[in-house]
Structure 1
């Protein structure tokens, strides 16, 4: 994270990103200039957000055309808090589905469910989306909404 502003310092921001299992909302532009947003599971590594998705997903096509993204990871329950920002996405093969496997374990707890087995199927071609965060803003309404 190059530039960070808002309620939290870097350590607290990274703690939030590591602890939360809220999908990232990722926004970009379509090749025709329209807006596109979707939610993806993420992990935070070395100042970047990493996601995995099918190699044939529309978002992959869009990011190959324009790598600029905006994102938000925020709680859905009171007290509202989170991180939003912008960055640049890079797409690479998810070798041996390493990123996807880590995300499945992070969000589902293990790889034993039908969903996990389906996602990790050898027939699926996966890519890793790495978002290098250029700027981020944090907010925490705990003081005025109650909470931690």
Structure 2
């Protein structure tokens, strides 16, 4: 991953934020008319890669099959605003979907909402794992000017 030299955070701080953040990732991609769209997904960061999942019939998956380049952002929703954004390449796979879904469910639902967890896992055979490999990354942190 190439870090923007103007990034206020170094790579270890970016990795820590991505590993510990429970905010969804926002993916920017192009629709059929080459207009930008944004989609929020659950993600897991591991060893330089962001992992997500989406149903095989989702609009997102259909677009990612045609264009493997995306923009992404993981950021706080409340002030002080801070986060990580960048450009990445995507790989789609139908391997290890149940494991990926289980990891995402544990991160975002924990032991709560057993009904949703069961429903999501019941669809594992119809899910794609989305492997997002960041190419360029930048962070921002407005903490110094936005005191709580």
The TM-score normalised by the length of structure 2 is: 0.92
Alignment match, 2:2: 2
Q: Is the 8 A contact 1:105 1:111 kept in 2?
A: no
Unmatched 5+ stretches in structure 2:
none
Alignment match, 1:84: 85
* SS of residue in 2 equivalent to 1:28: strand
2:68 aligned with 1:72: no
Alignment match, 2:25: 24
* SS of residue in 1 equivalent to 2:91: strand
Q: In angstroms, what is the RMSD of aligned CA positions?
A: 1.7
**How many pairs were matched up?**
147
Unmatched 5+ stretches in structure 1:
none
Question: Structure 2: how far apart are the matches of 1:18 and 1:74?
Answer: 12
Question: Structure 1: how far apart are the matches of 2:3 and 2:51?
Answer: 19
Q: Residues 12 and 124 of structure 1: is their aligned pair in 2 closer, same or farther, counting only changes over 3 Å?
A: same
Q: Is the 8 A contact 2:97 2:129 kept in 1?
A: no
Q: Which moved more, 1:50-59 or 1:121-130?
A: 121-130
Q: Is the 8 A contact 2:55 2:128 kept in 1?
A: yes
Q: Which moved more, 1:89-98 or 1:137-146?
A: 89-98
What stretches of structure 1 move > 4 A for 4+ residues in a row? Answer: none
Q: Residues 66 and 49 of structure 1: is their aligned pair in 2 closer, same or farther, counting only changes over 3 Å?
A: same
Offset of residue 112 of structure 1: 5.8
2:75 aligned with 1:93: no
Question: Structure 2: how far apart are the matches of 1:96 and 1:28?
Answer: 22
Alignment match, 2:14: 13
Q: Residues 122 and 141 of structure 1: is their aligned pair in 2 closer, same or farther, counting only changes over 3 Å?
A: closer
Alignment match, 2:107: 106
Offset of residue 60 of structure 1: 0.7
